[in-house]
């Protein structure tokens, strides 16, 4: 699905040098590479604080801990996302409240959020799914009205711009109280292992989050709260520091591939190409088609037989996952999510797809549809 090897070849000398510097310095934890990457990312995002941590799942968990969410508090999120979003809510004994998504953007439906609010609701976790921002202005309005926190899951959308109605822009993850991202290798800004970060403009919250990731410690060996151990390695930071310089170029390459796919599939009666919403740029973490009246499994099989990997993100909605079955929810409750789970298919997407590969992929899809 992604071609990390070709991407690495192009930046090998810079990356290898950065890694070697960390090894030579032996500052493996919280070394200078972490501090400079943090500062570079703060500058890139235009955000006051970046708190590096061990992965995107931790970023979400640490945010919820630092915001002081307590067992029984309700947290509203989308039924169509990667499991991590709901997992941390459940692990902290908060109550995940699921709502449906919009059929065109696949992002959380603000009207459904508003309907799901109760006296126990404390936070909303929108996911900027597949690389495009959720409707943050509508969500912020709801959050302000009901005094709720917003934690953006920007794990798939680092570098995307939210475009406000007045034309101003903010980077995904910096629009609300807190934003979370992942540096998992296949993410748009990926390292060579696990990594993550949290973003905020709030000084006090940043202090809390820095303490939570460091065993709840503000003064060394004095623990005023229960924390976790969640760090970004210096070696990963050295890799990320190099790749951050190319993040906007990477997004361009992904959009070029998406344009190619769009041109090949637009107006096809059996395929819905991804909607590009006017209030967000799209960084195409995934290029996801919605199929109509076809045997999706057969399409996936056919593509596999032609050496074209195609994946289903996500085949099972959250409320139908075994570990998350809940008497509050049943099949049919989230019709858009359920429809998408049955019909979506994601094509290969990376910074390294050339015209020949794209041509081969699109003609393989068309071949299947016409057979
Ligand atoms: C990848 C991802 C996460 C988790 O990130 P990890 O670094 O793998 O823990 C959370 N939410 C979404 C939407 C993701 O895509």
Residues 98-143: tens digit of each pLDDT: 999 999 999 999 999 999 999 999 999 999 999 999 999 999 999 9
The answer on pLDDT for 95 being more than 80 is yes
Domain boundary residue among 192, 224, 244? 244
Least Cα distance to 236 among 17, 13, 19 occurs for 19
Ligand 1 pocket residue status of 80, Cβ below 6 Å: no
* Domain of residue 148, residue span: 4-99+107-244
pLDDT tens-digit profile of 300-359? 999 999 999 999 999 999 999 999 999 999 999 999 999 999 999 999 999 999 999 999
Domain boundary residue among 216, 244, 272? 244
Whether residue 268 is found in the same domain as residue 204: no
Which burial class, exposed, middle or buried, applies to 119 when counting CB atoms under 10 A from its CB (0-12, 13-18, 19+)? exposed
Whether residue 44 is found in the same domain as residue 130: yes
Q: Ligand 1 center to residue 128 CA distance, Å? A: 11
Domain boundary residue among 244, 276, 293? 244
Calculate the alpha carbon distances from 204 to 49, 52, 90, 214 in Å: 10, 16, 25, 16
Q: Ligand 1 center to residue 84 CA distance, Å? A: 6
At 304 the pLDDT is 97
In this structure, what CATH number is given to the domain that contains residue 203?
A: 3.40.640.10
Is residue 257 very low, low, confident or very high in pLDDT (cuts 50, 70, 90)?
Answer: very high
Q: Of ligand 1's atoms, which has the minimum distance to the CA of residue 55?
A: 7
Whether residue 260 is found in the same domain as residue 111: no
Whether residue 239 is found in the same domain as residue 111: yes
pTM: 0.97
Is residue 75 very low, low, confident or very high in pLDDT (cuts 50, 70, 90)?
Answer: very high
Ligand 1 pocket residue status of 188, Cβ below 6 Å: no
Ligand 1 pocket residue status of 55, Cβ below 6 Å: yes
Which residue's CA is the closest to the ligand 1 atom numbered 5?
56
The answer to whether 236 and 191 have CB atoms below 8 angstroms apart is: yes
Pick from 108, 127, 182, 186 the residue to mutate for probing ligand 1's pocket: most ligand atoms within 8 Å of its CB: 182
At 1 the pLDDT is 76
Whether residue 25 is found in the same domain as residue 63: yes
Whether residue 207 is found in the same domain as residue 289: no
In this structure, what CATH number is given to the domain that contains residue 359?
A: 3.90.1150.10
Q: The tokens of 17 are what?
A: 């040098």
Whether residue 177 is found in the same domain as residue 282: no
| Calpha distance 218→122 (Å, rounded) | 26
Q: Ligand 1 center to residue 115 CA distance, Å? A: 27
pLDDT tens-digit profile of 286-307? 999 999 999 999 999 999 999 9
Ligand 1 pocket residue status of 184, Cβ below 6 Å: yes
Least Cα distance to 172 among 208, 207, 199 occurs for 199
Whether residue 219 is found in the same domain as residue 297: no
């Amino acid at each position: 699905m992604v071609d990390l090897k070709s991407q690495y070849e192009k930046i090998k000398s810079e990356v290898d040098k950065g890694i070697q510097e960390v090894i030579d310095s032996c500052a493996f934890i919280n070394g200078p590479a972490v501090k400079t990457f943090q500062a570079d990312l703060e500058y890139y995002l235009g955000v006051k604080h970046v708190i590096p941590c061990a992965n995107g799942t931790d970023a979400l968990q640490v945010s919820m801990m630092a915001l002081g969410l307590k067992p029984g508090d309700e947290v509203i999120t989308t039924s169509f996302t990667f499991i991590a979003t709901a997992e941390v809510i459940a692990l902290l004994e908060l109550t995940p409240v699921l709502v449906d998504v919009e059929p065109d953007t696949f992002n959380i439906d603000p009207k459904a959020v508003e309907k799901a609010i109760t006296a126990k609701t404390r936070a909303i976790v929108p996911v900027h799914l597949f690389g495009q921002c959720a409707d943050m202005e509508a969500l912020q309005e709801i959050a302000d009205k009901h005094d709720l926190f917003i934690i953006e899951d920007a794990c798939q959308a680092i570098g995307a711009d939210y475009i406000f109605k007045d034309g101003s822009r903010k980077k995904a993850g910096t629009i609300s109280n807190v934003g979370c991202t992942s540096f998992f290798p296949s993410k748009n800004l990926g390292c060579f292992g696990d990594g993550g970060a949290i973003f905020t403009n709030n000084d006090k919250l940043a202090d809390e989050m820095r303490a939570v990731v460091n065993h709840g410690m503000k003064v060394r060996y004095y623990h005023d709260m229960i924390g976790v151990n969640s760090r970004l390695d210096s070696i990963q930071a050295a890799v990320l520091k190099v790749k951050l310089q190319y993040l906007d170029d990477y997004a361009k390459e992904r959009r070029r591939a998406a344009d190619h796919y769009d041109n090949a599939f637009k107006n096809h009666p059996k395929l819905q190409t991804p909607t590009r919403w006017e209030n967000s740029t799209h960084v195409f973490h995934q290029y996801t088609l919605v199929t109509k009246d076809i045997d999706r499994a057969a399409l996936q099989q056919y593509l596999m037989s032609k050496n074209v990997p195609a994946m289903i993100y996500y085949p099972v909605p959250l409320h139908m996952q075994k570990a998350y079955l809940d008497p509050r929810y049943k099949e049919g409750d989230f019709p858009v999510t359920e429809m998408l789970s049955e019909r979506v298919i994601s094509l290969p997407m990376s910074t390294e797809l050339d015209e020949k590969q794209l041509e081969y992929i699109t003609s393989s899809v068309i071949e299947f549809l016409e057979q």
